[in-house]
Structure 1
């Protein structure tokens, strides 16, 4: 019997050549219960659908859109989908989430996941709807931004289709290209390049059926309660100022990465702060599909138009590159959206290049910290993969540093090839561990350990055993939220998260789920990601931070210094391995493999 909230099948689509075929892939209930959906189920599918050491940009490489049992229910923030693949940037597993109506329509094609393989002969759109799957040539879409692609396919095929599309950077194989829908992005790890390598400009989905839940009245009651809680103090920051409210707060506690992590405070921060922008430029507030929080804040742009701004894109294109003019940062963020590239990787890679230019390691005297027009010029070169510097930077900072040499890998701001988000590891040492061991690479959404650092309950400048447990706790909670799927901005409304999440799952699925089972599920998902990466060549040596963070103390002013040594990080990594049941080399225990492989 299929549990509520599921269809019990994925769809594997082959787009090789001039047509498309779709084959159902049955999903056993024990697999669904073991991995839930979203990132968890996507990880399981990658294990099942691939052979070791495959090319992430090869035709055989699957790109998987994954839904969850909560998608399509009235539970707030549940209209989200995951995209899972092997990253062309890191050569390891990557996953990204986006909120939109695409999630609902995609699930209501009658599938819990859609995996795409092959390569079309010409640039095409893939359509999945009531009449099955088909491939439509669309060479006229070449070079269009994702937003214009959505408009074009809507005019051609009708308004009933929901679209996930790539920009020109995805077509050209920029290794941190994004997949977008309705201005929201599955951003990290180069998923847009994976879709582009299949010669697919867009995936269109249309609802064909409905999905049942086990106890509709109980689901409605849970949805009403969760919606009411979503208006409470735990989400106030997001409603009032959005994530950009973090900018001044992080600057005040010396954890705002500046000029490629050479400093942790930025003198230009007030010009970019949410408080300033809200007063001078705020024009609207918006919500994702099926969301009651409304965290999206829209600001006016110089010369007309508007732009959605978040902490991470402002950090990466502002302080990280030393740029303080909000018009330049707004324009750079808009350019990233048009090209379809991840703002964090773009900003981190350009900041690395700025430092290289100042050191004389690359011949680009025009590329300097604080130069907004230079930032825009570099983005255009990346998006076009312009021979020389554009081609180099389109590969990401790790690969570029390996090409340039000169010790530049020591200050390339990446872990496992993924550029660091806006958190200074030397002043947030739980987060330092979370960034080092995360399966996706340097990431703040799969390991939100900065919460523990900023809670006041730990010494954030002196990492130790307590920081290990804090990092594991945030990683486990993220694994469940990203698989159910629920928005992270709701995390503060749950006082007993695993128990409360289990109470949401039960009326949807009919399973008598408890907190302990969900904790075991979280651990299983985290280990399944790690085992995939080990299969693809990752080792314990990858669980580290750039040398700059481990060898250069950070001056905090007033004679204070923040230091994170290689030895301290290694001790925390060892503690993480032990607590996760891994051996000293970071490999999974055979008993854990038995549990994973039972489901794999």
Structure 2
């Protein structure tokens, strides 16, 4: 290995939780710099996704190419990682998405999070581009950039790649970009210990920097300001995590949702043409448990254990199945064979593909083929015979996409939005995405608060950054008739998600918590020693959501992006419990108006100067990235309802 390159200095340790600094890694220069984080920033943004969004804004200038040398990839840790608190072994990866051109963050649970925090930093920021394919290694005090040409371009499955890297770099926890990332598939994932930060193309961002893997190891224990109190909270939370609020995750995992969603006619089927699937029973968690169950596991430091593994074929390694991968590679593509769906899920993991975007892009292509959209194009011959339900073709397309093979593979590697734009009308009307991110397994016409959540989310169509489906299932609103009241409730779910993603804790804990904001304050006080109270956490949540929107405005966001494809306004659901359900544009705009008002936004969804100042975003964004506050598309001279302010 080449000689180690020293960091600026070894970080000192604070009272607890926050180390108060991040490590800037310049790959072009093979150098590092330790950068201080002011205590007010840590308290105002908590950590994780909140801190990562701020760092991405700090470390880049407006309009940068997400796959360019000027792009940054932020690896952000939360203040709770490395503590006894259950599910806290999580890391946030934050970057500008090559799929959407907007903010993207994705979380992953593994030993990488713990080892990364033990380097003594609250985040790592990778900038620039290595001169040749390499692996980045850091223990916090030194950096090594190790060339790895033998691992680049070899079409290795991620399992084999992880094994080789682990043998070559013992003692390091690794995050890896797979073959799809090398080929710049716009929804390539990052993998660590068999788990994936899947959405938005973060793998492509890392591979564009000519980095195959990032390895971390550290020796700094995460200090606890009030150790006894932190341990007491951890024991109480662990006990509740084993209660009825998380029972379904322990018994079946998220795949338990499939039968429920099918019953409610909320299961997206055949590229959102239908909302019930005749093959749902065979793919349900209950059926898989009876016929194919082969074990259960848990993330590092987790007491819930939601991971369930199922047999594909006798003697073959079992596959982890979750609702989103089964939905996207099953009903969405019209595939009812459990074996083919599980094989496709395993293939996505081996190739490093986001299962939702991969399934969504293939389902879009299947509908294009059935409707004759490929006729007269360069893809006509290859698309001939492509139909919903063809699981064998789906497997072939996954390989073609990951390797960007000429033809449909290269087209679909761009994602459904870009593919639809290339094909032209009528394709854009049924490409199921928001801001370029393919819609997950929640039918918007049957879950109309979730429809709003998809549209306004900074990441695009997303069920993790907006839990608006909780409102639809709560019984407090009519899920088939969106309302302004539901929009205001959706804001609350976004705020809760922002807190959990910044601490970072698993969202499967949310029903086990008395109040997310209240208990977050208790945990932060015990771990960090800062006297955090519930109102401070509530304010931080709102600030984080607004900061995400502000980054997007800087990068060119326009109000017309906050919508759904035409299909959802022009077609009614054909059957099941939601038969005849639909969204009208007038109804949807009414919901958005209520959302904007509740968030303190302008009438068009942009941030007014008053809201920026109220949440201290102007103080956070100073100096080199002050251009964020004057980004194109912003309306700083307007009030929260769009009227000019009295200056």
TM-score band (shorter)?
over 0.9
Residues 57-96 of structure 1 aligned to structure 2 (within 5 Å): 57-96=67-106
Instruction: Give the aligned partner of residue 39 of structure 2.
Output: 29
Give yes or no for contact 1:34–1:599 (8 Å, CA) kept in 2.
no
* Ranges in structure 1 where 5+ consecutive residues have no aligned partner: none
Task: Go from structure 1 to structure 2 and tell me whether the alpha carbon gap of 1:520 and 1:216 turns closer, same or farther (over 3 Å shift).
Answer: same
> Is residue 299 of structure 1 aligned with residue 310 of structure 2?
yes
Report the Cα distance in structure 2 between the residues aligned to 1:422 and 1:505, rounded to whole angstroms.
33
Instruction: Give the aligned partner of residue 287 of structure 2.
Output: 276
Report the Cα distance in structure 2 between the residues aligned to 1:241 and 1:410, rounded to whole angstroms.
36
Task: Go from structure 1 to structure 2 and tell me whether the alpha carbon gap of 1:106 and 1:458 turns closer, same or farther (over 3 Å shift).
Answer: same
Instruction: Give the aligned partner of residue 122 of structure 1.
Output: 132
Residues 413-428 of structure 1 aligned to structure 2 (within 5 Å): 413-428=432-447
Moved over 3 A (4+): 557-560
Of 464, 467, 474, the residue aligned with 2:493 is: 474
Of 158, 164, 167, the residue aligned with 1:146 is: 158
Instruction: Give the aligned partner of residue 51 of structure 2.
Output: 41
> Is residue 526 of structure 1 aligned with residue 545 of structure 2?
yes
Report the Cα distance in structure 2 between the residues aligned to 1:166 and 1:121, rounded to whole angstroms.
17
Scaled by the length of structure 2, the TM-score of the pair is 0.91
Q: How far did residue 455 of structure 1 move?
A: 1.6
Report the Cα distance in structure 1 between the residues aligned to 2:500 and 2:289, rounded to whole angstroms.
30
Instruction: Give the aligned partner of residue 590 of structure 1.
Output: 609
Give yes or no for contact 2:480–2:578 (8 Å, CA) kept in 1.
no
Scaled by the length of structure 1, the TM-score of the pair is 0.98
CA offset digits 1:179-206 (Å, max 9, x no partner): 0011110000000000010010000001
Of 246, 260, 269, the residue aligned with 1:258 is: 269
User: What secondary structure does 1:180 align onto?
Assistant: strand
Report the Cα distance in structure 2 between the residues aligned to 1:194 and 1:560, rounded to whole angstroms.
42
Report the Cα distance in structure 2 between the residues aligned to 1:139 and 1:437, rounded to whole angstroms.
42
Q: What is the RMSD of the two structures over their aligned residues, measured on CA atoms? A: 1.2
Q: How far did residue 112 of structure 1 move?
A: 0.3
Instruction: Give the aligned partner of residue 334 of structure 2.
Output: 322
Give yes or no for contact 1:146–1:181 (8 Å, CA) kept in 2.
no
Task: Go from structure 1 to structure 2 and tell me whether the alpha carbon gap of 1:168 and 1:476 turns closer, same or farther (over 3 Å shift).
Answer: same
Of 399, 405, 424, the residue aligned with 1:380 is: 399
> Is residue 244 of structure 1 aligned with residue 244 of structure 2?
no
User: What secondary structure does 1:561 align onto?
Assistant: coil
Of 522, 527, 530, the residue aligned with 1:511 is: 530
Of 451, 456, 470, the residue aligned with 2:475 is: 456
CA offset digits 1:80-120 (Å, max 9, x no partner): 00000000000000000000000000011111000101111
Q: How far did residue 131 of structure 1 move?
A: 4.8
Residues 147-546 of structure 1 aligned to structure 2 (within 5 Å): 147-158=159-170, 160-303=171-314, 304-362=316-374, 363=380, 364-546=383-565
Task: Go from structure 1 to structure 2 and tell me whether the alpha carbon gap of 1:131 and 1:214 turns closer, same or farther (over 3 Å shift).
Answer: closer
Q: How far did residue 287 of structure 1 move?
A: 0.3
* Ranges in structure 2 where 5+ consecutive residues have no aligned partner: 1-12, 375-379, 622-647
Report the Cα distance in structure 2 between the residues aligned to 1:233 and 1:555, rounded to whole angstroms.
35
Of 7, 12, 16, the residue aligned with 1:4 is: 16
Give yes or no for contact 2:276–2:576 (8 Å, CA) kept in 1.
no
